[in-house]
Structure 1
Amino acid sequence: MTAPLRLVIFDVDGTLVDSQGHIVASMTAAFQALGAAVPTREAILGIVGLSLDVAVPRLAPTLSGAQHGALVQGYKDSYRRLRLAHGAAEASPLYPGALEALQRLAANDDVLLGVATGKSKRGLDALIEAHGLERMFVTRQCADFHPSKPHPSMIHAALSEAGVDAANAVMVGDTSFDMDMAQAAGVTGIGVTWGYHAPAALTAATDIVQDFDALHSTITTHWSLPV
């Protein structure tokens, strides 16, 4: 009997790469350029994973729509400058063990990999290219084409594009937005502890793992894959 195709969907910021330095710097620059009070580092990291048009109003609920738009554009401009100045790989380095975990999963013929992120397509493509991951993911879902997490649209599209049933997919992420999105899409959510939300916030996760070795073990056990 042929094994069904499986799909592991990864969040990006806070799960595969540690981009917090440039995220905080770019959001800080955007608020400063507008002359608005800069949110705390904790508040900024708390909205990572949301699309910018949703994240910014949460950070600055008393500002106008026009001001929100200026903040979104200011953030994009600042982040782009930092990426060009430092390179995407330096701006968003892979977490230790991330590449090896991706390679181990991809070595299984019946396992496909994808990403679902609040990044723009341009930012995601630049990051994937910088890390040499162009052939790693069969599906790339980003903020340009979907409602913000935790809406399940990204996962639905990933499943359709990969040709995989929801029962044979898992979503790996560091935020409550990722786990709530997984739950809404009917796929298993695996939370990671090294990202930007506290593990206690990942209430919709089926499992929570401490490192990439534990992630691999959890996925292989879940699907009875070869170790």
Structure 2
Amino acid sequence: MKLLVFDFDGTLVDSLHNITRAMRAAFAATGLPYPGDDATRRQIGLSLREAVAGLAPEGVSDALIDAATEAYKETAFAIRNSPDFHEPLFPGARQMLDALHGRDDVFLSIATGKARRGLEPLLERLDIGHLFAVTQTADDAPSKPHPGMLLNAMERLGMEAANTILIGDTVHDMRMAKNAAVTPIGVAWGHHEPDHLLAEGARDVAGDFNHLHDMIESFFQRGRRP
């Protein structure tokens, strides 16, 4: 058996527009200067409080960071429940997930900086929750790049690092994979540049889901890391 662990935002789901919208609102609500959408993009992948702290000016109090974190949650909840909410899977993601789920030699999992209350409604809305044997969120382990989410998933499914791949779009994903001693694969359509993913240890970077599927098939065929 093999274990494929996917990041969520920027890897499977196109969510940047909603993340930056919520972060702008959170900083405005607490009177903090917003450093810009590019700065937010660099923080995506971390758990929410860590991302907010990374964007806030140096020396800001914990209380204000907590307030901005709560403001983000409130805004994200409102966005998710608005009539114009749109957060689709990237083209090709569903087809690849369905094909992999149909195999009898693989487990699929998610490791995301989202809280569970943010992830589960989206899995239901996208009708993909049943494809994943295990989901790991910010509620289950420390923020990436800590390896806890990967270690938890491997333990739950009885898998070893040598038979596990982490697929993600940020340097935080690549660092988490290295910290758990699993193979990291990057994707080029997400939030961080391919060169940065390679510099952080990505074995390779997929240009689209067909390329990613081919890389995974190679992993299966060789019975070892791609």
- TMscore range, shorter length: over 0.9
> What one-letter code is carried by the residue in structure 1 that aligns with 2:112?
T
TM-score (norm 2): 0.94
Q: Structure 1, unaligned stretches of length 5 or more?
A: none
Give 1:106 deviation, angstroms: 1.2
State the 4+ residue runs in structure 1 displaced beyond 4 angstroms: none
TM-score (norm 1): 0.94
Among 129, 141, 159, the alignment partner of 1:164 is 159
> What one-letter code is carried by the residue in structure 2 that aligns with 1:104?
A
Aligned to 2:25: 29
Following the alignment from structure 1 to structure 2, what is the Cα–Cα distance between the partners of residues 104 and 169? 18
After superposition, the C-alpha distances for 1:197-220 in whole angstroms (9 at most, x for unaligned) are 111111211111100000010011
Among 174, 180, 192, the alignment partner of 2:175 is 180
Give 1:155 deviation, angstroms: 0.2
Instruction: Check 1:100–1:145 CA distance in 2 against 1; reply closer, same or farther (3 A cut).
Output: same
Q: Are the aligned partners of 1:28 and 1:39 in contact in 2 as well (CA < 8 Å)?
A: no
| Pairing 1:128–2:127 present | no
Q: Are the aligned partners of 1:19 and 1:92 in contact in 2 as well (CA < 8 Å)?
A: yes
> What one-letter code is carried by the residue in structure 2 that aligns with 1:81?
A
Question: Aligned-pair RMSD on alpha carbons?
Answer: 1.1
Look up the SS of the partner of 2:11 in the other structure: coil
What does residue range 1-227 of structure 1 map to in structure 2 within 5 Å?
Answer: 5-62=1-58, 63-86=60-83, 90-202=85-197, 203=199, 204-224=201-221
> What one-letter code is carried by the residue in structure 1 that aligns with 2:128?
L
Give 1:94 deviation, angstroms: 0.4
Look up the SS of the partner of 1:129 in the other structure: helix
After superposition, the C-alpha distances for 1:78-131 in whole angstroms (9 at most, x for unaligned) are 0000001147xx432100000001011112111110000000001111110001
Look up the SS of the partner of 2:185 in the other structure: strand
Give 1:61 deviation, angstroms: 3.5
How many residue pairs were aligned?
219
After superposition, the C-alpha distances for 1:157-193 in whole angstroms (9 at most, x for unaligned) are 0101122111111000000000111111011100000
Look up the SS of the partner of 2:131 in the other structure: coil
Following the alignment from structure 1 to structure 2, what is the Cα–Cα distance between the partners of residues 145 and 215? 27
Q: Percent identity?
A: 43
Following the alignment from structure 1 to structure 2, what is the Cα–Cα distance between the partners of residues 198 and 224? 29
